[in-house]
Structure 1
Amino acid sequence: MSQSEAYNDAHRSFLQLIAANRLLTAPKVNAAYEAACSKYGVGSCGGLQQFVMAINASLSPLHLIIKKSVQEDLREDKSCFVLVNTISSDVLKGLSSRSAWEDMLLERIISGIVESEEGCIAEVDAVNMGTGLQGHRVTASESEAAIARMIKSKLIIKHDDMLLLSGLTLSEQQQQLEANFPDICVKCVLCKIITLQGYSCDQCNSRVHRSCGRKLWRKAERLPFCPGCNAVWPRVNSVSASGGE
């Protein structure tokens, strides 16, 4: 293993930051990578990918991994890196500090978001899910507080009073989401990450993130088309088909 790939204080510094946040947008990751390499005098010639691979090798015994993901809100997509557990969600429940009813509420919110036509639900509807849990007496204020903690933990995101799944949850629960919602939780054909806000092809059911589509169409110098079957997408405005990168 070369000097640039060897696990060192630069990796530890970077890991501390992403462990504290669980999710960092790509610009913040790049800035943290460059800052860590500069601070500890480590050359960055190996690149971010090898840098993260070295960290993941050390995290493997802990059932943790840093992965690339996509944070989707109502208007755009943002590339991000997330620190996810690789053990099953059932095991994670036992390790969580959340109460049983909070786990139930999170499951209902996730299901509600996934099954909604827009890939999001109103926060007020999520609060009502909490007060309506059978076998648990949950007040509206308790439900609101639990949802606020989920947002703070980056399990879900809030945009214009609507709740969406975070890039962290989409990555950490990817296998479970694909198993429970095979017709809805479909990976983007370009980046292989689940998209709920992206475009869907009427011809072949392929899905693509808004940001992934924009990159493809710009590179191909073509109007929006399906990357799966090449069908033209006249309904998609190439200008509005944007997203943070």
Structure 2
Amino acid sequence: MATQMTDAHRRFLQVLMSHGIMEGSETRKLHRQCCEIDKVYYAHDKLDDFISTINSHLQPLFMQIRKGMSEDDGRAHYALVNLAETEITKMASDYTENELELFRKTMDLIVSSENGFASSTDILNLADQLKTKKMKKKEAEQVLKVFVEDRWLSERNGEYTLHTRCIIEMEQYILSNYPDVARKCNICHSLAIQSQLCESCGIVMHLPCVRKYFRAQTEPRCPQCNDFWSCDIPGMNRTDSQSPSKTGRTEKSTRRC
């Protein structure tokens, strides 16, 4: 039987809905504030239980608060997800048909890329190839800016990747529609867009998971097949390593090294 919802739960849900997605430390702070304001029991290590109570009441509405990880820094994030609409068409009320087509094509480039990024040049070159209605490059630039502001895309040095919000909300859609390239991280079991790949067995890991996993290992070996991990590990100096010297790209994560 589901635990009773309190005003603290409702306040928490209302704030999360207004933000769309919140970073883990902000979410924990919100949890404490809601419990203190509404004078209900608070324990710093009970956030998951608190959210589970909310989710049990959201289930009939086909909604759920989900936890995800930023592929940039490994920080946890929480987002409210509409389970009834897992397709990109859930964005239809906010964007025009040609804007949605541009987003789909951008997602194609990002998910199919080797490093989880698509350059602004490659994306803008798609603007006059849209089937719904062609866009001028200036118009496409503005649409990309809106996607970033709405936290569907993230931009860094002229290159775009999927925002944490997008990955949390669209995970099942991406896994279903890109079965040949979309995979889950071997460590955290979440969808991995920016990732490194084992050349021997093909498993992938997020960069934050790579850093965390190999920090505790004396020698970087794949957690699945135990072969040498051939990609460069961010934050690890291999100059003195006696292992094979195959290298991959660093910092901007590499799916295939």
TM range (shorter): 0.7 to 0.9
CA–CA separation in structure 2 for the residues paired with 1:26 and 1:195: 19
How many angstroms does 1:124 deviate by? 3.5
Q: Which structure 2 residues correspond to residues 32-51 of structure 1 after superposition, within 5 A? A: 32-45=30-43, 47-51=46-50
2:242 matched residue in structure 1: none
3-state DSSP class of the match of 2:232? Answer: coil
CA–CA separation in structure 1 for the residues paired with 2:64 and 2:126: 32
Moved more, 227-236 or 169-178: 227-236
3-state DSSP class of the match of 1:173? Answer: helix
CA–CA separation in structure 2 for the residues paired with 1:69 and 1:24: 10
CA–CA separation in structure 1 for the residues paired with 2:221 and 2:37: 45
Distance verdict in 2 for CA 1:198–1:7, change over 3 Å: same
Asked if the contact 1:10/1:36 (under 8 Å) is kept, the reply is yes
Partner residue of 1:116 out of 108, 113, 129: 113
| Count of residues in correspondence between the two structures | 238
In structure 2, give the amino acid aligned to 1:194: L
State the percentage of identical aligned residues: 26
Cα deviation code 1:74-111 (max 9, x no counterpart): xx333211222212445844852211111111100100
Larger helix proportion of the pair:
1
Distance verdict in 2 for CA 1:130–1:71, change over 3 Å: farther
CA–CA separation in structure 1 for the residues paired with 2:33 and 2:220: 38
CA–CA separation in structure 1 for the residues paired with 2:7 and 2:121: 45
1:103 matched residue in structure 2: 100
Partner residue of 1:225 out of 221, 228, 238: 221
- Residues 1:168 and 2:165 aligned together: yes
Distance verdict in 2 for CA 1:179–1:134, change over 3 Å: same
Q: State the TM-score, normalized to the length of structure 2.
A: 0.82
1:203 matched residue in structure 2: 200
How many angstroms does 1:195 deviate by? 0.9
In structure 2, give the amino acid aligned to 1:239: G
Distance verdict in 2 for CA 1:42–1:229, change over 3 Å: farther
Distance verdict in 2 for CA 1:27–1:224, change over 3 Å: farther
Moved more, 193-202 or 208-217: 208-217
How many angstroms does 1:234 deviate by? 5.1
Q: State the TM-score, normalized to the length of structure 1.
A: 0.85
Partner residue of 1:23 out of 17, 21, 24: 21
3-state DSSP class of the match of 1:217? Answer: helix
In structure 2, give the amino acid aligned to 1:166: H
Distance verdict in 2 for CA 1:95–1:9, change over 3 Å: farther
In structure 2, give the amino acid aligned to 1:68: K
CA–CA separation in structure 2 for the residues paired with 1:25 and 1:18: 10
CA–CA separation in structure 2 for the residues paired with 1:180 and 1:109: 14
Asked if the contact 1:77/1:211 (under 8 Å) is kept, the reply is yes
How many angstroms does 1:69 deviate by? 1.1
CA–CA separation in structure 2 for the residues paired with 1:153 and 1:235: 33
Cα deviation code 1:203-233 (max 9, x no counterpart): 1111112222333334x44333322223232
How many angstroms does 1:191 deviate by? 1.4
How many angstroms does 1:178 deviate by? 1.6
